[in-house]
A = this chain, B = another copy of it.
Amino acid sequence: MAADLVAGVGSYTLQQIADYLGAELRGDPGTEIRGLATLEGATGSDLSFLANPAYRKHLSDTQAGAVIVAPQVAGDCPVNVLVLDNPYLGFARVTRLFDDRPWPDAGVHATAVIADSARVDPSASVGPNCVVGADAVVGARTVLGAGTVIGDRSSVGEDCYFHPRVTIAHAVRIGSRVIIHSGAVIGSDGFGFAPDGGKWEKIAQIGSVVVGDDVEIGANTTVDRGALDDTVIEDGVILDNQIQIAHNVRIGAYTAVAGNTAIAGTARIGRNCTIGGQSGIAGHLEIADNVHVGGMSMVIGDIREPGAYASGTGSLPMAQWKKCVVRFRQLEDIARRLKALEKKAGE
């Protein structure tokens, strides 16, 4: 692969992209590709892709300059093709070439406040109004967006990209190639209090957070520090926006969690799981590896077997919903009456 292709330059020949992807090219290698688009929306300078069989109907009419396709479909495509066993993965890789997000220069902005004892790699980029605390470490080529705060004694690895206004509290350890979006807070206090005669006594949260390599954390997501031990986000975990990870949770490698999900204290989520959005995972439970939980799931017990799980009842027209809720609350009575009838019928 031509891994040295420069991203974001705006224009590539089809041959350059084929080399970058390691794809077989059928068609004109000199075709100029200036953007990415869906099969339906693409014009002659766009590269498109076919991954989902549901969109195959759009293939014959596409105006794309080229399409990334699987081998068995390549013959049906009316335009240039790049053939890959996994077209969706190829598409994912090629998006990088067209990503035009700002990539700031190395160096510390004049308005950033860096503690004397902090170690910021000279190749890192520290944006306006950032604050890097005492004894904190920022690794090579890492980007800190404007207004980001790195707490005392925290470390951030290499090649990370933090968008503006991220907060890393004190003594947090973050790996390399970690992306964190705006407003995320890593290392806030866990919600730990001891009852004291009708009042609450705060339990200082003296653990911390450990985030592995290749993790992505969404906008306004929060990860609390542990009470005694650490909260752990393993390598390759991807967290969407507005997620709450409570103290001492452990999320296994390569697990994906969708938006607005809340995971309560000391829950352990396995590896390679997917957790649907708006779900609630109760505390002190375990979810096995390779578990897939639907959106708005309410997980209140261990899930020990891999597989798919869901909960909730789905939305209904208001009048029907009201009747179903009334009957739901009568379920114990319904079951008893059914049993009585069965007895009478001699079953």
Nearest B residue to A145, CB-CB: B149
- A3 beta carbon closer than 8 Å to chain B: no
* Cβ < 8 Å to B, chain A residues 326-347: 327-332, 334-335, 337-338, 340-342, 344-345, 347
In the bound complex, do residue B262 and residue A278 qualify as a contact, i.e. CB atoms below 8 Å apart? yes
- A120 beta carbon closer than 8 Å to chain B: no
- A45 beta carbon closer than 8 Å to chain B: no
Interface-located stretch among A12-20, A23-31, A56-64, A99-107: A99-107
- Chain B residues with CB under 8 Å of A193's CB are 92, 238, 256
Given B96, B195, B202, B313, which contacts A325 in the complex, CB threshold below 8 Å? B313
CA distance A9 to B340 in the complex (A): 70
In the bound complex, do residue A258 and residue B167 qualify as a contact, i.e. CB atoms below 8 Å apart? no
Copies in the complex: 3
CA distance A278 to B220 in the complex (A): 16
Given B165, B260, B309, which contacts A317 in the complex, CB threshold below 8 Å? B309
In the bound complex, do residue A320 and residue B337 qualify as a contact, i.e. CB atoms below 8 Å apart? no
In the bound complex, do residue B338 and residue A337 qualify as a contact, i.e. CB atoms below 8 Å apart? yes
In the bound complex, do residue B295 and residue A315 qualify as a contact, i.e. CB atoms below 8 Å apart? no
With both chains docked as a complex, state the minimum distance between the C-beta of A143 and any C-beta of chain B, in angstroms: 13
- Chain B residues with CB under 8 Å of A167's CB are 163-165, 182-183, 219
In the bound complex, do residue A102 and residue B165 qualify as a contact, i.e. CB atoms below 8 Å apart? no
**Assuming the A-B contacts A102-B151, A181-B185, are A95 and B317 also in contact, with contact meaning beta carbons closer than 8 angstroms in the complex?**
no
- A32 beta carbon closer than 8 Å to chain B: no
Nearest B residue to A48, CB-CB: B228
- A321 beta carbon closer than 8 Å to chain B: yes
A interface residues, how many (CB within 8 angstroms) = 134
Nearest B residue to A312, CB-CB: B298
Mark each residue of chain A from 72 to 115: 1 if its CB lies under 8 Å from any CB of chain B, else 0.
Answer: 00000000000000101101110110111110000001010100
In the bound complex, do residue B260 and residue A277 qualify as a contact, i.e. CB atoms below 8 Å apart? no
- A244 beta carbon closer than 8 Å to chain B: yes
Show 10 residue pairs from A and B whose CB-CB distance is below 8 angstroms, ordered by the A residue.
Answer: A41-B229, A91-B203, A129-B129, A164-B167, A200-B254, A220-B222, A258-B262, A259-B262, A293-B315, A310-B318
Q: Which residues of A contact B (CB under 8 A)?
A: 36-38, 41, 86, 88-89, 91-93, 95-96, 98-102, 109, 111, 113, 127-129, 131, 133-134, 145-147, 149, 151-152, 163-165, 167, 169-171, 179, 181-183, 185, 188-189, 191-196, 198-206, 214, 216, 218-220, 222, 224, 227-229, 236, 238, 240-242, 244, 246, 254, 256, 258-260, 262, 264, 272, 277-278, 280, 282, 293-301, 303, 307-318, 320-325, 327-332, 334-335, 337-338, 340-342, 344-345, 347
Q: Which 4 A-B pairs have the closest CB atoms?
A: A327-B331, A99-B204, A92-B194, A278-B280
